[in-house]
Amino acid sequence: MSLIDLSGNLLEAAFIAYLIATLLIGGSIKSSKPDGAEKRANKWGYLAIIVTIIGFLAHLGYFITRWIYSGHAPVSNMFEFSTAFGMFLVGAFILMYFMYRVTALGLVALPIALLIIGWAAMFPREVTPLVPSLQSHWLTIHVITAALGQSILAISAVAGLLYLLKAVDPKKKGKERFWLEAVLYFLVVIVGFIAVTSGFKAAGYEAEYSYINKDDQELTIIYNLPPFFGMNESQAITEGAMVPLIEMPAFIHAAKLTTVVWSLLVGTVLYLLIRLITRKRIIEMLNPLATKVNLQLFDEIGYRSVLIGFPVFSLGALVFAMIWAEQAWGRFWGWDPKEVWALITWLFYAAFLHLRLSRGWEGRKSAWLALIGFGIIIFNLVVVNLVIAGLHSYA
């Protein structure tokens, strides 16, 4: 077995371990009732943590073996970055568990990690040589530190979601119920992305087009989904290929925008099927799993996650990024879409801490801010990376 095969097997083992651990955590919560079942629930919870740690070690093994095989930190493309982000998220959950001994965090953290790994699996996973602009030790320092900071910040959203699942009455109409259901809907959309890309990949769909990029160069691109949007001045190369419905300007990556729209469509269909079959909102389905949540404790976990994650993210996404930008492009700041969104993320969490410390925004307000912050991180991962062309488009 080659090193790259071993790496892939370790990632699959981590995925399976996280899935089993999620089920164990769910079982520990559901079985927590009188007549001695509390002890059994705790055993399930401890077993879940052990399985999670085993999965994390396998995930770390994937990361290290791929690093050795490729000769550089495996964070240079969407597959590698997303799998690393999922690993750091699980690591952050394990850290918070040993700080607070709360297994319920894994009920959200592990499924999100599974979705991120599933998302990553849809991108090309081949090991390719680094483009010249990435051949720097700052790739390791900047990207890993930024991803680690984001993963710790994400734990605040995990705690916030569990807080709101208990605090918000699923049967009472109101803005909070609507927006919480919207958050859960977008998680289903990620499942939709995995489903649609897997389906067309299994069917072997490919269509090649030529187009003109923003530098007036003629290039080619392969669509793996039927195109809603065409690249700038696109022409079909594959015989019988579908004509895109709308042609996009050069600064929009139309092929990736097509993927986003397909994901929204399929995710919406999945969401409606869930509602039709269960005759319940997703918030109503998940509310019983949050009955054991200690609101004060989870509020503290969310706040502590931001306190830890914010300085790490500041170093990775701003300080280290600007140092590398100066070395690579001769300037510290250039208003590239990725740079702008990193600044927006930093400003948001700075505002989060300001409102928490000076205005006393605790409890529900803090939980909602944490969810909004995670939405900003996911927007950066999905839309900024996949749709808006910029200097970071190689990722």
b/e string for 47-70 if b means 16 or more Cβ within 10 A? bbbebbbbbbebbebbbebbbebb
DSSP three-state, residue 210: strand
Quote the distance between the C-alpha of residue 70 and its chain's center: 24
pLDDT reported for residue 194: 81
DSSP three-state, residue 262: helix
pLDDT reported for residue 187: 85
Low-confidence stretches of the chain (pLDDT beneath 70): 1, 30-41, 133, 385-395
Q: List the structure tokens of 134.
A: 């990435």
Count other Cβ atoms within 10 Å, centred on residue 134.
19
pLDDT of 274-333, one tens digit each?
Answer: 999 999 899 998 888 888 788 999 999 999 999 999 999 999 888 998 888 787 777 777
C-alpha distance from residue 100 to each of 55, 150, 186, 194, 370 (Å): 20, 20, 29, 33, 19
Contacts 24+ apart (CB under 8 A), 360-366: 362/299, 362/303, 363/163, 363/167, 363/295, 363/299, 364/163, 364/164, 364/167, 364/176, 366/160, 366/299, 366/302, 366/303
Which residues lie below 8 Å from residue 51, measured CB to CB, with a gap of 6+? 17, 20, 21, 24
Residue 209's beta-bridge partner residues? 221, 236
Q: List the structure tokens of 180.
A: 């919480």
pLDDT reported for residue 394: 46
Find the radius of gyration of the CA atoms of the chain. 22
Phi/psi at 222 (nearest 5 deg)?
-110, 125
Count other Cβ atoms within 10 Å, centred on residue 337.
19
Residue 229's beta-bridge partner residues? 246
Q: List the structure tokens of 166.
A: 């208990």
pLDDT reported for residue 368: 94
Going from N- to C-terminal start, the domains of the chain cover 3-170+281-386, 191-280
pLDDT of 214-226, one tens digit each?
Answer: 878 888 888 988 9
CB 103 within 8 A of CB 48: yes
Of the candidates 98, 101, 99, 92, the one whose C-alpha atom is nearest the C-alpha of residue 158 is 92
